């Protein structure tokens, strides 16, 4: 049997178009695009074109641990917490936050504060933060793309309860909020892991020290869910 040409092809599992990875050579495949893929070999045998059975491959988004190993991201979290303390006064307070992106073209993480807006309220009152989900344009990506700027996690803070009026506000629980369209629900709906900075104590009362110990709370999936 005479093998004259061979080619390695790839496609997304939910699409039908195949892309050529390599022709007439051994292919070491490295991708910067996340997703579920099929790969196959195509060869010319005499006058016929034959195909191998497709082999599946999954390229995942980074885990929480991989994201937290980036010093730039953890420094941005600490800075946001300090901003939260500085913004806490007898008259107002607010949350701070950002969306974490991974640029797979160069492997760098970034903290984008422009996609997070927060309301200001009287200490003790409920304040809200909103993420504007600026997703990558999947229509422009192929298995051969050189990379994408992927949102991979959410981060925000909860403010102190120090200046809450004890005649109006008795206490608040710390940690990720669990109501409809709140922290845990939004992370799960959007398939993104969430990070939160809040105080270590399970319950806060008016008059606690702003300098009390704080903690990182994790919520939502352990890594971004593949689309």
Q: Is 107 left (phi over 0), alpha (psi -120 to 50) or beta?
A: left
Tell me how far apart the alpha carbons of residues 88 and 64 are, in angstroms, rounded to a whole number.
29
pTM of structure: 0.92
Task: Summarize pLDDT for 5-18 with one digit per residue, the tens.
Answer: 889 999 999 999 99
C-alpha distances in angstroms, 198 versus 11, 26, 84, 115, 206? 43, 52, 10, 21, 15
Tell me what pLDDT residue 157 has. Answer: 98
| Terminal alpha carbon distance of the chain | 42
3-class secondary-structure state, position 68: helix
Kindly report the backbone phi and psi dihedral angles of residue 80, in degrees, each rounded to the nearest multiple of 5, phi listed first: -65, -35
Contact 224, 104 (CB under 8 A): no
Least confident of 41-55, 116-130, 186-200: 41-55
Q: Sorting pLDDT into bands at 50, 70 and 90, what band is 48?
A: confident
Tell me what pLDDT residue 195 has. Answer: 98
Sequence-ordered alpha helix ranges (H) in 87-121 = none
Supply the DSSP symbol for 202: S
- Mean pLDDT rounded to a whole number for the chain: 94
Q: Taking 80 as the threshold, does the pLDDT of residue 117 lie above it?
A: yes
C-alpha distances in angstroms, 188 versus 32, 108, 152, 162, 195? 24, 25, 13, 31, 13
Task: Summarize pLDDT for 123-169 with one digit per residue, the tens.
Answer: 999 998 999 888 998 889 999 999 999 999 999 999 999 999 999 99
Q: Sorting pLDDT into bands at 50, 70 and 90, what band is 3?
A: low
Tell me what pLDDT residue 1 has. Answer: 45
Q: How many CA atoms lie within 13 A of 158 on its CB side?
A: 27
Helical (H) or strand (E) element with 4: strand 3-12
């Amino acid at each position: 049997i005479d093998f004259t040409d061979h080619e390695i092809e790839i496609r997304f599992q939910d699409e039908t178009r195949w892309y050529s990875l390599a022709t007439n050579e051994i292919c070491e495949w490295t991708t910067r695009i996340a997703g579920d893929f099929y790969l196959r070999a195509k060869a010319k045998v005499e006058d016929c074109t034959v195909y191998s059975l497709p082999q599946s491959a999954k390229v995942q988004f980074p885990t929480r641990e991989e994201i937290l190993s980036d010093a730039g991201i953890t420094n941005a979290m600490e800075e946001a917490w300090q901003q939260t303390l500085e913004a806490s006064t007898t008259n107002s307070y607010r949350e701070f936050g950002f969306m974490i992106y991974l640029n797979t073209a160069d492997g760098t993480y970034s903290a984008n504060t422009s996609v997070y807006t927060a309301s200001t309220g009287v200490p003790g009152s409920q304040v809200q933060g909103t993420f504007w989900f600026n997703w990558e344009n999947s229509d422009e990506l192929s298995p051969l793309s050189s990379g994408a700027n992927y949102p991979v996690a959410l981060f925000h803070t909860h403010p102190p309860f120090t200046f809450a009026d004890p005649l109006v506000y008795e206490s608040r629980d710390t940690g990720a909020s669990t109501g409809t369209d709140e922290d845990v629900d939004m992370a799960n709906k959007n398939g993104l892991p969430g990070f939160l900075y809040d105080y270590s104590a399970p319950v806060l009362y008016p008059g606690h020290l702003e300098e009390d110990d704080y903690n990182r709370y994790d919520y939502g999936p352990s890594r971004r869910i593949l689309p």
